[in-house]
Amino acid sequence: MTTKKSGPRADVYTRITERIVVDLEKGVRPWVQPWGARNANGRVTRPLRHNGQPYTGLNVLLLWSEAMARGFTSPMWMTFRQASELDAHVRKGESGTTVVYASRFTKTEVDSHGGEVERDIPFLKAYTVFNCDQIDGLPDHYYNRTEPVIDQVERIAEADSFFANTGAVIRHGGPKAFFSPSSDMVQMPPFETFRDAASYYAVLGHECVHWAGGSHRLNRDLSRYHKERSERAREELVADIGASFLCADLGIVPEMEPRPDHASYVQSWLTVLEGDRKAIFQAAAHAQRAVAYLHDLQPQPATEREAA
């Protein structure tokens, strides 16, 4: 990919896309890289903001990738200013990590008839955060995770309930996992054919991200999936990223054994990303929406129902 010198603001898409491409060219999918991390201590989570709120979308990929590359053990990140407000300081010589904020503003323009019209203009803003491992003087809970480790049996039971609550029709049999838009059902190989329960739920999460994009749900255009290679690559990118988000949210740490089709998928993703610098942003956004949709199908806690 050729680097475009169009200024730092306009080049955010290109810089981040190039970073993802470098990982893919090494055969590494940055959104699943953390599962084998020694620093996860058997657990995995989304990257967290200074207030404990999880990052979403593309920022999850960026921070996971950076944490793995640099060996950070803390899941928490903050800006230089946020560290200063906690009477802490970023160590001299430490370099930050770029994350992005997407928003839009309204601009008034004159149309061809001389009238005023308002247009929504999307924009992307990049800013820098530091992992708590790069910061001295923070309270202890920013460095060490104090929550008790959930028993593995409970984790998988929770995942089982999660997918049942979506209402998706899930059938078992045969050697392949796929979502069929025509019959609106998810097909999975028998549970016993997977190396472990975590791997089964990771694949099920992948297929349920496809399912969430169905025409009467999020309505992602799946009509060209079998007709155009690039469209199939884009949709598989969404599902692969979304499955990793789900694994993190459900506390599942599967042994990420590549499926036979992953090599061809990685090559197709490289082709898409090298031709469209915004593709990874769009894929991460679609993945985030799909995962949020699946979470929204879960029963609300009693306190939330009473408040409503």
The pLDDT tens digits for 148-203 are 455 666 668 899 999 999 999 999 888 889 999 999 999 998 888 888 888 899 99
Confidence band, pLDDT 50/70/90 cuts, at residue 3: very low
Co-location of 156 and 106 in the same domain: no
Mean pLDDT of 25-45: 58
Same domain for 102 and 180, yes or no, is no
| Overall domain count for the chain | 2
pLDDT surpasses 70 at 286 = yes
Name the domain boundary from 115, 149, 183: 149
**HEC readout, the chain:** CCCCCCCCCCCHHHHHHHHHHHHHHCCCCCCCHHHHCHHHCCCCCCCECCCCCECCCHHHHHHHHHHHHHCCCCCEEECHHHHHHCCCEECCCCCCEEEEEEEEEEEEEECCCCCEEEEEEEEEEEEEEEEHHHEECCCHHHCCCCCCCCCHHHHHHHHHHHHHHCCCCEEECCCCCEEECCCCEEEECCHHHCCCHHHHHHHHHHHHHHHHCCCCCCCCCCCCCCCCHHHHHHHHHHHHHHHHHHHHHHCCCCCCCCCCCHHHHHHHHHHHHHHCCCHHHHHHHHHHHHHHHHHHCCCCCHHHHHHC
Over residues 199-213, the mean pLDDT reads: 94
Position 13 in a domain: no
| Same domain, yes or no: 58 and 144 | yes
Same domain, 214 and 258: yes
Give the mean pLDDT of 253-271: 69
pLDDT for 209 beyond 80: yes
Tens-place pLDDT, residues 76-88: 999 999 999 999 9
231 falls within a domain: yes
Same domain, 216 and 278: yes
Which is higher by pLDDT, 162 or 64?
162
Final residue in a domain of this structure, among 149, 176, 203: 149
168 in the same domain as 140:
no
Specify the range with the lowest mean pLDDT, choosing from 47-61, 101-115, 231-245: 101-115
Residue 162 token pair: 């999660």
Residues 102 and 241 in one domain: no
Q: Is residue 95 part of a domain?
A: yes
Is the residue at 24 inside a domain? no
Domain assignment of residue 3, yes or no: no
Q: Which domain holds residue 261?
A: 151-301+303-307
Q: What's residue 261's pLDDT?
A: 57
Residues 281 and 171 in one domain: yes
Say whether both 98 and 188 belong to one domain. Answer: no
- Please identify, among 117, 134, 149, the residue that sits at the C-terminal boundary of a domain: 149
Kindly tell me the sign of the dihedral angle through the C-alpha atoms of 54, 265, 279, 62: positive
Instruction: Confirm whether 23 is domain-assigned.
Output: no
Q: Are residues 157 and 284 in the same domain?
A: yes
Clarify whether residues 167 and 222 are in a common domain.
Answer: yes
Judge whether 14 lies within some domain. Answer: no
Q: How confident is the prediction for the chain on average, in pLDDT? A: 82
Q: Are residues 224 and 282 in the same domain?
A: yes
Q: Is 19 within the bounds of a domain? A: no
